[in-house]
Amino acid sequence: MGFKDVLDKNRKEATPAKAEKKAPVLETSEEMKEVIDRVAHWKEKLTEAKSELEASEKEVIDYIDPFYDKMARSGDFTKSFIVKGNQHEATFVSSDKFSDIPNEVIEEVKTVLGDDFDNFVKDKTTVTLKPDVLENEVLQKELMDAIGEENFAKYFDVSGKWKVVEGFDKKQYKLDEEKRQNLKPFIKKAKPSIKVR
């Protein structure tokens, strides 16, 4: 079995994250209740507006797609069109971004493309070292004995990012407040979302 066969055999799809536990309910002042109601009102309006916008954009895209395809087939490929309305104009812009092809349908894609497969589809395999290896000196030694230090860079590109540990959002409150505040310029928390019911 070759390296590619081993990669294909061991390829895994990403798994979704687990749901959080139920949040406690805070009692608020009358002023804050009004603010919450305003947020809910505008979120609802925004949802309606996004829905209308998506439906209208789909109409424009469905209208333009046949022109886009016809021009591209005739050799006059363009990624954008200007479409005039009565009072406004819109610019249609297509991009060279497509969904990943799931492993379970790749054989069907090969059948459809036939001899053209290699010209249109590339395998972008990512090999990830299991976290256990980075934390276990015995496994690290096995890996280095198998590959050899002198060959490591021949087979691996190593890059990394410093990340906080999982659960940092909660764990940070075990630090004294001065340390926690001094970390804020260096560790940015993602903006919380507000969902309304």
pLDDT at 196: 60
CA distance 148 to 143: 8
The pTM of the full predicted model, rounded to 2 decimals, is: 0.58
> pLDDT at position 1, please?
55
Give Cα separations from 147 to 47, 128, 186 (angstroms). 55, 16, 37
CA distance 27 to 81: 52
Mean pLDDT score of the chain: 85
**Burial grade of 68 (CB within 10 A; 0-12, 13-18, 19 or more):** middle
Average pLDDT rounded to a whole number, residues 109-114: 92
Q: pLDDT value at position 103? A: 87
Q: Can you tell me the distance from the alpha carbon of 152 to that of 145, in angstroms, rounded to the nearest whole number?
A: 10
Beta bridge partners of 84: 89
pLDDT exceeds cutoff 60 at 3: no
Q: Which residue has the higher pLDDT, 195 or 127?
A: 127
